[in-house]
Structure 1
Amino acid sequence: MAEISVIVPIYKVEKYIDQCIQSILEQTFSDYEVILVDDGSPDNCGIICDEYAKRDKRVHVIHQKNGGISAARNAGLNRFFCNVDNKYVTFIDSDDWISAYYLEQLYTTAIMTDADIVSCDYSSKQLVENNGKTNSDNIRIFSGKNALIERYKGDAQIRVSSWGKLYRRNLLEGLNFPEGKIHEDQWFSTMAYYFANRTVFLNDKLYFYRLRNDSITGSEFSMKRFDNIELMDWVIRVFKDNNDIQLTELASLHREKTCAQYVLMSKVKSAGRIPSQFRMSKNKALLIVHRYLPREKFIQHFQMIYPRIYRVYKLLHDIKQKVIFKR
């Protein structure tokens, strides 16, 4: 039994898995277990996981047929809930790695603040390690659903990624990742935020995120991105069922802005492939982006949809700037 379970879903990350697992095993905190879920990886990941389990009794391995990252995380959660004494769980993506103080600082903060969720900051670069101490000035505490309200208002620190967070056990009972969808964190983390009594954010960068061109976020636009909108609809339905008018309105606006960007990113030639419930005209999508998002975003999308008009606009704008400069 362990105070914390660390769940790592694994698929085709042979190049990165050692750095990930080593960073977990080198924690300053001692009372934890590691659940490695080999999601039918066709490379040597399964063998590598078994080798770690042989060398370290804290490591447990689950081998299963490929079902996607949600199925892998759910398998890890099922094992976590089988151990009745385990109190907290955290998720680490298998191509990422963590600070040696990751578990210690998140756990200490959870105990100190009685938080249901503790989230740390992240970086795409390795930083100089801190001393493992959390400065009270680096902590932000939200009661109830206030963290979610601030997220919908644009607080960039409040992310829906499941990694980089420590969750209290009873918060997650009955909550799973939706299988067969991408952007699965949209549902899981939003529901966790919604039902948490207290959420705490640390400004300390304790999680290191690897940027990869072949990842979902680093690849070209796919129609599967609209899974995100569908999951937002699930979330909005929960808010409506709970008569939560404020969050229903905020989430609906967030959905509209995200859907508009996806419609524009999907390009005109692919418009017919957009699921019917998410379709809107490119002009409506541009109006939404113009109204609610930064000007740079609007220019970016306008240039993509109307390249010829944009070139004329840019030419006239440059001429105008030269005239102003000469004055």
Structure 2
Amino acid sequence: MSCYRRRIMEKISETQHPLVSVIVPIYNVEKYLAHCLEDILAQSYPNLQIILVNDGSKDSSGSICDDFAKKDARIKVIHQENAGVSAARNTGLDHANGMYISFIDSDDRVHTRFIELLLNFIGSNKLITCGYELFDQDFEVNPTDQINVSQIEIQNLSDPLKKLVDIFDILFVVPWNKLYAKSLFDQIRYPSGRVHEDEFVIHEILHQVDVSCYMDIPLYYYRRRAGSITADETNAAGFVDKTEAIYNRRNFFIDLGRNDDASALDSALLKRFVLPTIKNTNHIWSEYSLRDIYTNDTLGLSTRLILLIKKTCYPLYVAMVKIGRKLSK
């Protein structure tokens, strides 16, 4: 075969069977890691680059990665000093060669047709999202359940950014139930040292997407572990980080001229500021004035009153919080 014809055949193969880079950030998950990796190796779509980023694990996770790499040439293992999940994902992105990117958390499970079906339905779009199921700690799932492809519903979202207005709807925010065109990350990396790092970049990703697909079927299984950072609702750093991410998104919408969406996020932020997790010295809370509170007609009277007290007499607000906690016990 001539060099020219070989290049043509390779080009056809890349178009029909594109390489997908699967990035797995890993830290101290020896109990769950093997199941996750077995699901990835069992994918019905075989043309994968599997990037395992061991982010300074103190348990046997690193050696589990190395053992799996010996079994399958598609696996690339990168060991690095612990720097957090953002840095691990960024390392994976730096080494990704695929036309498409998928993130899988190392304690989760995926259906064996996860990549195949996402790739089949993404079409000419840059992003597709599928449904997911939560399962608790040590409960197990069946990643080989039968799927009737003819019954899969596909929604084409012509305004993907609109999905970011409801701050409680994380389906389109989380990084792991998606297939992305690699080009979406050409200028984007996750911010290091943040909790809810995905919240900081998702609006920048979706802004590059004309139409996003949603496949209404749970192909990703998210393990809900007690004590994990994002599962801990009392985690102050996580609460503050998410609040800042929402504020950044609000400013992003203002810059785009999407003032109604920015106003909706203002309302969500003000409701978050009622909680004691946001201290009076928080720089985002300080950006909001008394006028912002009283001109927002989505806030109830009690919410406005609490915010007024917090803004003008913080010691009284602290005392009220303490009394409220005692009464709730």
Shorter-chain TM range is: 0.7 to 0.9
Partner of 1:173: 186
1:71–1:179 contact (8 Å) kept in structure 2: yes
Distance verdict in 2 for CA 1:17–1:189, change over 3 Å: same
Paired residue type of 1:173: D
Partner of 2:127: 117
Tell me, in whole angstroms, the C-alpha distance in 2 between the residues paired with 1:7 and 1:179. 17
> Which string of whole-angstrom CA distances, capped at 9 and with x for unpartnered residues, describes residues 219-273 of structure 1?
251220201111222222322233332332233333333444xx24x3xxx956x
Distance verdict in 2 for CA 1:51–1:247, change over 3 Å: same
Equivalent position SS for 2:58: coil
> Which string of whole-angstrom CA distances, capped at 9 and with x for unpartnered residues, describes residues 154-196 of structure 1?
7847431111111112222101111111010102223222321
1:28–1:101 contact (8 Å) kept in structure 2: yes
- Asked if 1:142 corresponds to 2:157, the answer is yes
Tell me, in whole angstroms, the C-alpha distance in 2 between the residues paired with 1:310 and 1:290. 22
Question: Which residue, 105, 120, 131 being the options, matches 2:117?
Answer: 105
Tell me, in whole angstroms, the C-alpha distance in 2 between the residues paired with 1:291 and 1:56. 61
Tell me, in whole angstroms, the C-alpha distance in 2 between the residues paired with 1:166 and 1:202. 11
Question: Which residue, 302, 306, 318 being the options, matches 2:324?
Answer: 306
Select between 24-33 and 231-240 the one with higher mean Cα deviation: 231-240
Instruction: Report % sequence identity.
Output: 30
Q: Which has the higher helix share?
A: 1
Question: Which residue, 38, 59, 62 being the options, matches 1:43?
Answer: 59
Partner of 2:8: none
Q: Within 5 A, what are the aligned runs for 1:138-287?
A: 138-143=153-158, 146-153=159-166, 156=169, 158-224=171-237, 225-260=239-274, 263-264=275-276, 266=277, 271=279, 275-278=282-285
Distance verdict in 2 for CA 1:32–1:132, change over 3 Å: farther
Tell me, in whole angstroms, the C-alpha distance in 2 between the residues paired with 1:214 and 1:123. 19
Distance verdict in 2 for CA 1:310–1:70, change over 3 Å: closer
Q: Within 5 A, what are the aligned runs for 1:49-64?
A: 49-64=65-80
Unaligned 5+ segments in structure 1 are 294-301, 312-327
> Which string of whole-angstrom CA distances, capped at 9 and with x for unpartnered residues, describes residues 114-170 of structure 1?
222111111124257454453465211101xx2331442578474311111111122
> Which string of whole-angstrom CA distances, capped at 9 and with x for unpartnered residues, describes residues 74-99 of structure 1?
0001111xx3xx21101011110100
Select between 152-161 and 204-213 the one with higher mean Cα deviation: 152-161
TM-score normalised according to structure 2 size: 0.76
Equivalent position SS for 1:54: helix
Distance verdict in 2 for CA 1:158–1:256, change over 3 Å: farther
Paired residue type of 2:263: E
Tell me, in whole angstroms, the C-alpha distance in 2 between the residues paired with 1:304 and 1:6. 47
Question: Which residue, 59, 74, 81 being the options, matches 2:90?
Answer: 74
Equivalent position SS for 1:141: strand
Tell me, in whole angstroms, the C-alpha distance in 2 between the residues paired with 1:211 and 1:153. 22
Equivalent position SS for 1:36: strand
Equivalent position SS for 1:122: strand
Partner of 2:306: none
Tell me, in whole angstroms, the C-alpha distance in 1 between the residues paired with 2:99 and 2:107. 25
- Asked if 1:22 corresponds to 2:63, the answer is no
Select between 234-243 and 118-127 the one with higher mean Cα deviation: 234-243
- Asked if 1:93 corresponds to 2:100, the answer is no
Distance verdict in 2 for CA 1:154–1:137, change over 3 Å: farther
> Which string of whole-angstrom CA distances, capped at 9 and with x for unpartnered residues, describes residues 198-237 of structure 1?
1111111100111111112322512202011112222223
Paired residue type of 2:72: D
TM-score normalised according to structure 1 size: 0.77
Tell me, in whole angstroms, the C-alpha distance in 2 between the residues paired with 1:110 and 1:33. 19
Unaligned 5+ segments in structure 2 are 1-13, 136-140, 304-319
Distance verdict in 2 for CA 1:169–1:222, change over 3 Å: same
Equivalent position SS for 1:191: helix
Paired residue type of 1:252: D
